[in-house]
Amino acid sequence: MRGRTAWASAGGAAALVLVTATGAHAEGRGDIRVVKTVVNGGGNVIVGTSKTIRYPIDITVKDGSGVKGLTHVSTFNTSSALGGGFVDWTGTSCVKKSATTSVCRAMMAVTPGWIPGYSDSDSNKTAGVWQVNATVKANDGDYWISDRIALYKVKRAVRLTTVIAPGSVAKGGTVTVAGTLSRANWEDLKYHGFSGQQVELQFRKNGAAHYSTVRTVTTGDAGKLTTKVTVASAGSWRWYFPGTTTTSLKVSAGDLLNLK
């Protein structure tokens, strides 16, 4: 099991003071505090089946004596029933903003090949809302251990294709727009068709700046998409999947349709 929920030792013999100002179960000594945490620039973390994903957690820390740095960072799904997370803390750099405040960036990494072995349960269930825990330390020895200083989403990556047949047609003719929506499976590290999902068919007329939604289609077996449209003008067609709480948004590449 590859859970990474254990805290690093905070050290010191002083009594711990329980406070809830900077986290659900914050404890520590002195005036050091985490005042802000931003994960991946505020965006979701999207994980596929092969590429290592690296992302930052920026933690703003304040203490009257100045900030020494981070001594522990961990992140995992908010459901304790799912166990620890499969994200590695790979390094930290801190930038001093003032005599009392620093922004420390913890770099995190997800290697998909490790995910299936981290737990005995279905790894796909860990997609969704994750939390960040951190221990911070000041120059004067103050420290602070905070749970849930930030919430963000870790999502399964998707693939989405668009194919038009025929590729050119007379005005008023009919074409078939097809495609496939597939989603990363973190157990076998392959993409599988994602059925029963609402996907928008969008069109952009040649010369236009934006796509517009024409209709919504539900994916069938193996994530297949297909619909027929009557052609009024030349332009590009694409599929748009808005995503879910556990699955990423995806827009397919546009497929150009010409008029004969």
Question: CA-CA distance, 67 to 61, in Å (whole number)?
Answer: 7
- Domain range summary for the chain, segments of one domain joined by +: 17-156, 158-259
Average pLDDT, the chain: 90
CATH superfamily of the 158-259 domain: SOR catalytic domain (2.60.40.730)
Question: CA-CA distance, 39 to 46, in Å (whole number)?
Answer: 13
Per-residue pLDDT at 201 exceeds 60: yes
Q: What is the pLDDT of residue 44?
A: 98
Per-residue pLDDT at 10 exceeds 70: no
- Point out which residues pair with 138 in neighbouring strands: 67
DSSP string computed for 104-135:
EEEEEEE-GGGGGGS-SS-GGGG-EEEEEEEE
Q: What is the pLDDT of residue 81?
A: 67
The answer to whether 130 and 150 are in contact (CB under 8 A) is no
Q: How confident is the model at residue 49 (pLDDT cuts 50, 70, 90)?
A: very high
Per-residue pLDDT at 21 exceeds 50: no
Written as six digits, the tokens of 38 are 């931003």
Pick the CATH number of 17-156 from 3.30.1150.10, 2.60.40.3880, 3.40.50.150, 3.40.50.2300: 2.60.40.3880
- In CATH terms, are 17-156 and 158-259 the same topology? yes
Written as six digits, the tokens of 230 are 């009557």
Is 234 buried (19+), middle (13-18) or exposed (0-12) by CB count in 10 A? middle
Backbone angles phi, psi at 70, to 5 degrees: -100, 140
CB atoms within 10 A of CB 16: 12
Q: What is the pLDDT of residue 217?
A: 98
- Point out which residues pair with 73 in neighbouring strands: 134
Q: What is the pLDDT of residue 248?
A: 98
**Residue 28: CA atoms inside 13 Å, Cβ hemisphere, count?**
26
Written as six digits, the tokens of 24 are 């659900």
Tens of pLDDT, residues 66-110: 999 999 999 999 986 666 689 999 999 999 999 999 999 999 999
Question: CA-CA distance, 161 to 226, in Å (whole number)?
Answer: 11
Name the nearest CA neighbour of 110 among 59, 41, 152, 49: 49
Written as six digits, the tokens of 204 are 């952009």
Question: CA-CA distance, 10 to 257, in Å (whole number)?
Answer: 63
Q: What's the predicted TM-score (pTM) here? A: 0.87
